[in-house]
Chain A
Amino acid sequence: MTKEKEFKPKILVFCCNWCSYAAADLAGVSRLQMPPDFRVVRVMCSARVRPEYVIKAIARGVDGVMILGCHIGDCHYISGNHRTKKRFAVITKLLEHIGVNPKRVLVDWVSAAEGHRYQELVTNFVKTIKELGPNELGGLSS
């Protein structure tokens, strides 16, 4: 009767409108199986995701954040994903310094044709987060 409650992570996936959201769409219409633990937020460009959003999400107890953009060189806005890459390199380090596992933030690139890659990334990420367990900061902030 006292079956241990399975940990259901809360995961945010920021997808850029031009590549990774299309890839998510493709994965969906291709009926690729993915775990249901993530919520997709569509943004116009991965550089639209302010690092502060991720800080706040993690502080509020979100277990993992993925930021997906176009491949380097393919950005619809030419250099948006360069900014993303540089910013989140700093943010993951910062989270590590205060004791949050840096694996909770993942930046990667998915083109509009890569539905399978999207499925793979999301599945792996959900697996990693399930292994890590609930967010370390979960109990600290509302």
Chain B
Amino acid sequence: MNSLEAETRRVVSKLLEEKRVDGVIAPRRHQGCTGPHLFQRVEEVEKLVLTPKYPVANLCLLIQTKHPEAKLGVVVRGCDERAIRELGKLGQIDVEKLVLIGLACTEEEAVRCGCSQPYPSRVDIGVKVEGEKPDTKVAPIKEKNLLERLKFWSENFSKCIKCYGCREACPMCVCEECMLEKWFWVKGGEIPPEIPTFHLIRAYHMADKCTGCGECEAACPVGIPLTSLYLLILEDVKKLFGYEPGRDERISPLLTTLEEAPISE
């Protein structure tokens, strides 16, 4: 791990010294805590760390909104790169202005996330390891019959305290007006929120966006297996349209109409 950190620090320092970027987004160890930071000076770089992982795609959006001209370097893992690509397609961030520093996750990290592609398209730091099969997470749920599934999910959904943690942590949730806050869709002042409306609306919105980073599940204070639900639906979208969010250069087929092969009845 330490050798990876040393390597990352070297690459980031080089980028900053050569003035190829205005700043680099990466996690920083500061006052005993780890959080995201925009490294702009070479002296700071010694505080750069790599664990725990932090979703950086949202930060690119945040910084680009205020400073559209800034040239940013970003230390990206596989999931971050997929999120950045997806946000680029949605017109949220300017991918041209980003310099991606690819970081491959270690095998231990890949297993912990159950990630199917724990490496970005170009690996600058670390060694590429093959991902977990997504089946390990979703297979136990797929084996259940309809009634067992209903019981499993309604038990889980009824734990929800409507903290919106899943939405806040999600790198893909960028809508300025969220449907889940509108009383027309999900009535306010109720805990748990309407079952399963709240979670199904979110799952539908994730069907063509989710990059499988697992931040929603990690953020959930009551431990609802949200990533498993999204992985299940991602698998279907792949089967139906051959589309994988974050890995495909195409725009989501749910947003287009006649661009792809004609649909028959």
Contacts and interface: CB of A to CB of B under 8 A. Distances in A.
B175 interface: no
Contact of A97 (B151, B232, B258): B232
A122 to B, nearest CB: 18
Contact of B257 (A83, A93, A97, A99): A83
B207 A94 contact: yes
Contacts of B263: 72, 82, 85-86
Contact of A87 (B151, B201, B254): B254
B260 to A, nearest CB: 10
Nearest to B147: A99
Interface string A63-82: 00000000110000011001
Given A59-B194, A59-B196, A79-B257, A90 B237 contact: yes
A94 B146 contact: no
A99 B204 contact: no
- Most chain A CB within 10 A, of B149, B194, B196, is at B196
Nearest to B157: A98
Nearest to A87: B254
Q: Say which size band chain A's interface belongs to.
A: 20 to 34
A97 B142 CA distance: 8
Contacts of B253: 86
B179 interface: yes
B42 interface: no
B200 interface: yes
**Which bracket fits the contact residues of B?**
35 or more
Contacts of B150: 98-100, 136-137
B207 A98 contact: no
Interface in B154-202: 154, 179, 185, 194-197, 200-201
B184 to A, nearest CB: 9
Interface string B240-261: 1100000000000110011000
B257 A55 contact: no
A72 B237 CA distance: 21
A123 interface: no
B141 interface: yes
B54 interface: no
A52 interface: yes
A94 B151 contact: no
Interface string A36-77: 000000000000000110011001000000000001100000
A89 B241 CA distance: 10
Nearest to B184: A56
B257 A82 contact: yes
B151 A99 contact: yes
Contacts of A83: 254, 257
Contacts of B254: 83, 86-87, 90
8 contacts: A52-B204, A55-B197, A59-B195, A82-B257, A86-B263, A90-B233, A99-B147, A137-B154
Leading 7 A-B pairs by shortest Cβ distance:
A99-B150, A99-B149, A79-B257, A93-B236, A98-B153, A59-B197, A55-B200
Given A51-B204, A99-B149, 6 more contacts: A59-B197, A94-B200, A95-B200, A99-B144, A99-B148, A109-B265
Interface of A: 51-52, 55-56, 59, 71-72, 78-79, 82-83, 85-87, 89-91, 93-101, 109, 136-137, 140-141
